[in-house]
Amino acid sequence: MPATSRLAPAKINLTLHVTGQRADGYHLLDSLVVFTEAGDRVALDGGGPGLRLSGPQAAALDGEGDNLVLRAARLIGAGDAGLALDKRLPVASGMGGGSSDAAAALHLLAETRDLSLPDTAALMTLGADLPVCMAAPAPSRMRGLGEQVAPVGGVPALWLVLVNPGQGLSTPAVFKALSHKQNPPMPVELPRWPDPAALCDWLAGQRNDLQAPAQALVPAVGQVLAGLSAQPGCLLARMTGSGATCFGIFRDQPTATAAETALARPGWFTAVTRSSASVS
């Protein structure tokens, strides 16, 4: 039987290289992306047309009106489908929450209503993160504006601590604050990593080019990164997306759990989670 709900996993940019800016203002990216067991959940709802919200982060979406999930439902031809969203990821947090929610809705509606999934061009009308979120939970490389998505092999599962300081960041504002927009991409051929330590050694030579401008706009990002880096067992700390969520990669679950306990603050979002590995 088709599933009646679907996880909308958090999207984590292990790298995010800004490689250029087009004449129309859109930025070109090169990013290694993984998805986690933590996320929102989208479900079919029998309460009539529209979207019903619940969950600890639902209040941030109250009054939003034309939610991305509803736009996705219309895009696939499901009209004002009856859907429910259990919102657990903070909004405007760099984890692709809205795009992941929309991708989960598209998969769920396609499966249960025998509808065809939109092509990449149509997905991009909903947002640059939609194509990569449609590929979840597989680790992927996203390039261009986000429309070029390819699976990446040899990515191990990772124990992650996610920390958001309770402050949203505007993606356009972060890009506007980025002073250098022509930066090197990742290598054309990516290596295969036998374990998290090897991956983190490689990641240390890569970047999130939006981290510095985000930290300038929200200094708490630096506080979070310093806190993560100081925890025992932390192999790497970095910001994801345009922030303000940061992640620490930890050597095992016990050190990750201890780190989350140490970093918990009133008003902060924290979570221990695990990312999906490559299938090959």
Residues annotated catalytic, as ranges: 11, 129
For residue 218, the SS3 value is: coil
Separation between Cα atoms, residue 189 and residue 187, nearest integer Å: 5
Closest CA to 134 of 103, 97, 95, 101: 103
Q: 219 preceded by cis ω (within 30°)? A: no
What the block records as the tokens of 214 is 């985000």
Radius of gyration of the chain (CA): 18
Buried b (16+ CB within 10 A) or exposed e, 155-177: bbbbbbbbbbbebebebeebbee
The phi and psi torsions of 107 (rounded to 5 degrees) equal -60, -45
Separation between Cα atoms, residue 164 and residue 241, nearest integer Å: 12
- Decide if 247 contacts 178 (C-beta within 8 A): no
- In terms of phi and psi (left: phi > 0; alpha: psi -120 to 50; beta: otherwise), the region of 196 is alpha
Residue 273, CA distances (Å) to 41, 52, 65, 111, 260 in order: 15, 26, 31, 27, 10
What the block records as the tokens of 124 is 């991009």
